[in-house]
């Protein structure tokens, strides 16, 4: 039985001084997709996480925030930012300003970056209106390769930058049939009980449950069999590092969590009943949904005297996670092994829903029912017509709609259709995506 999954989600970190265009580049590469804010003690700016897609490959992008250019704090700021970026990154994009030229701060950063094992690529931004060869001229003296000259604002040079990124990370294709092994990732903040829950599901202490420096920052994969189904449970444990600065920055690796989710068939988001739902929980849940993963929720530590009341927690879930598709939520105690038997069943139910084949006849019957209840809004007084639909993919389910003016089908109406289909097909724990195909106009030249 193979427990091997696809290659890990490559991580690309964007670093540099303030106002060199890091966030603009981040938004350009991720197409302004939802970003996750990670508040970190000792770091003056938040880091943003978002997903980017190129050549049918997916990447996790990190915007690291600006370095202070104060002479008193620059050395510490450079060290902290570089440490924070490099701990998770496979590739580093070092953004410099073409209009500023080479600065003392850039030279200081270069000293730090030369010590890294990850490939570092110089990206000269704000080059609009400048000759590319002239723009990169000053930066050759850094001795860190030929810079890529771009304008994040206009998009000039972005294709060349993607070529550099794609060429620096090995292509590891998704393995469609992994000997029918279902991989379930347990995601969540540190100390919510993920390792304890994995042990409870397996029925043995297979994962070390200890809050000690030196714990591996990689995910732990535990194979098992449940209801005659081969599973691999992936524990995304919190990170501990010996170096003091690293320990403060990397107790929790967002990138590792999202990589584990990308490799999994389903994600179980574990939440601490004592702390309730946090912004971190909500943003991780959002990125799990964006990746299209089947998922379920587990509220752990319900045996604690500090646990919130179930009714209060349910209201929190409804308020903080309204974007989740219909899903199972279990209130458990992993330590006492109460309620854990249903956790794996919920995950498998979500996997089944995500991979289900949907009848074309029922899709069109459901589509007609949805439009009878709520017709598509007109566009500029013109009728937006949906003629028919069919399934276009699985994991998550995708419906392809054909018709006229469907490029003007509003986001809210697509959301309405998605929710209507999820309810009609009794899908649990999986998003459903809508794509449109526009009919060709025979009178348009």
Q: Between these two residues, 85 and 29, which has the higher pLDDT value?
A: 29
For residues 393 and 414, give the distance between their C-alpha atoms in angstroms, rounded to a whole number: 17
Q: Is the pLDDT of residue 262 over 90?
A: no
- DSSP strand pairing (57-63 vs 47-54): antiparallel
Name the pTM for this structure. Answer: 0.70
Backbone angles phi, psi at 168, to 5 degrees: -95, -10
Exposed e or buried b for every residue in 424-444, given b needs 16+ CB within 10 A? Answer: bbebbbbbbebebeeeeeeee
Residue 45: predicted pLDDT? 45
Q: What are the C-alpha distances in Å from 5 to residues 18, 129, 147, 172, 355? A: 39, 46, 35, 10, 17
pLDDT category of residue 95 using cuts at 50, 70 and 90: very high
Q: Is the pLDDT of residue 266 over 60?
A: yes
Q: Between these two residues, 150 and 135, which has the higher pLDDT value?
A: 150
For residues 85 and 87, give the distance between their C-alpha atoms in angstroms, rounded to a whole number: 6
For residues 181 and 232, give the distance between their C-alpha atoms in angstroms, rounded to a whole number: 7
Average pLDDT over residues 238-260: 53
For residues 301 and 293, give the distance between their C-alpha atoms in angstroms, rounded to a whole number: 25
For residues 411 and 310, give the distance between their C-alpha atoms in angstroms, rounded to a whole number: 33
Do residues 295 and 267 lie in contact, with contact meaning Cβ atoms separated by under 8 Å?
yes
For residues 257 and 218, give the distance between their C-alpha atoms in angstroms, rounded to a whole number: 9
pLDDT in tens, 171-228: 654 444 445 789 999 998 888 999 899 989 988 655 555 444 334 345 677 888 888 8
How far, rounded to the nearest angstrom, does the alpha carbon of residue 437 sit from its chain's CA centroid?
27
Average pLDDT over residues 422-427: 96
Average pLDDT over residues 309-338: 94
For residues 2 and 172, give the distance between their C-alpha atoms in angstroms, rounded to a whole number: 16
Q: Is the pLDDT of residue 38 over 60?
A: no
Of 189-193, 245-249, 257-261, 288-292, the one with minimum mean pLDDT is 245-249
CA angle 222, 225, 231 (to 5 degrees): 50
How far, rounded to the nearest angstrom, does the alpha carbon of residue 414 sit from its chain's CA centroid?
22
Residue 174: predicted pLDDT? 45
For residues 80 and 73, give the distance between their C-alpha atoms in angstroms, rounded to a whole number: 11
């Amino acid at each position: 039985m193979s427990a091997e999954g696809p290659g890990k989600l490559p991580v690309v970190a964007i670093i540099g001084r303030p106002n060199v265009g890091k966030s603009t580049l981040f938004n350009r590469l991720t197409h302004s997709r939802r970003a996750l804010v990670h508040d970190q003690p000792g770091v003056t700016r938040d880091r943003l996480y978002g997903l980017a897609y190129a050549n049918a490959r997916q990447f996790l992008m990190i915007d690291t925030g600006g370095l202070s250019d104060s002479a008193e704090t620059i050395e510490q700021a450079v060290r902290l930012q570089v440490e924070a970026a490099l701990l998770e990154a496979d590739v580093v994009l070092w953004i410099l300003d073409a209009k500023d030229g080479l600065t003392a701060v850039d030279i200081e950063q270069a000293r730090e970056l030369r010590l890294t094992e990850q490939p570092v690529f110089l990206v000269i931004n704000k080059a609009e209106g400048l000759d590319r060869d002239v723009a990169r001229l000053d930066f050759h003296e850094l001795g860190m390769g030929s810079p890529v000259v771009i304008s994040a604002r206009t998009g000039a040079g972005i294709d060349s930058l993607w070529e550099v990124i794609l060429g620096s990370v090995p292509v590891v294709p998704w393995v469609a049939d992994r000997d029918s092994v279902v991989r379930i990732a347990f995601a969540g903040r540190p100390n919510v009980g993920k390792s304890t829950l994995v042990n409870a599901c397996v029925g043995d202490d297979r994962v070390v449950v200890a809050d000690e420096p030196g714990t591996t920052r990689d995910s732990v994969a535990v194979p098992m069999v449940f209801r005659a189904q081969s599973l691999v449970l992936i524990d995304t444990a919190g990170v501990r590092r010996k170096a003091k600065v690293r320990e403060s920055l990397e107790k929790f690796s967002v990138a590792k969590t999202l990589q584990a989710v990308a490799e999994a068939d389903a994600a179980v988001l574990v939440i601490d009943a004592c702390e309730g739902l946090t912004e971190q929980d909500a943003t991780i849940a959002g990125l799990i949904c964006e990746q299209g993963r089947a998922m379920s929720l587990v509220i752990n530590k319900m045996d604690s005297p500090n646990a919130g009341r179930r009714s209060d927690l349910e209201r929190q879930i409804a308020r903080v996670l309204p974007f989740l598709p219909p899903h199972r939520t279990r209130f458990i105690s992993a330590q006492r092994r109460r309620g854990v038997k249903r956790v794996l069943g919920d995950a498998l139910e979500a996997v089944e829903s995500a991979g289900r084949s949907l009848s074309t006849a029922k899709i069109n019957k459901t589509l007609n029912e949805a439009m009878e209840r709520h017709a598509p809004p007109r566009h500029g007084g013109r009728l937006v017509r949906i003629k028919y639909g069919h399934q276009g993919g699985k994991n998550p389910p995708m419906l392809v709609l054909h018709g006229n003016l469907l490029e003007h089908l509003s986001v809210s109406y697509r959301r309405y259709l998605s929710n209507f289909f999820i309810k009609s097909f009794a899908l649990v724990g999986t998003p459903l995506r809508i794509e449109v195909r526009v009919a060709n106009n025979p009178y348009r030249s």
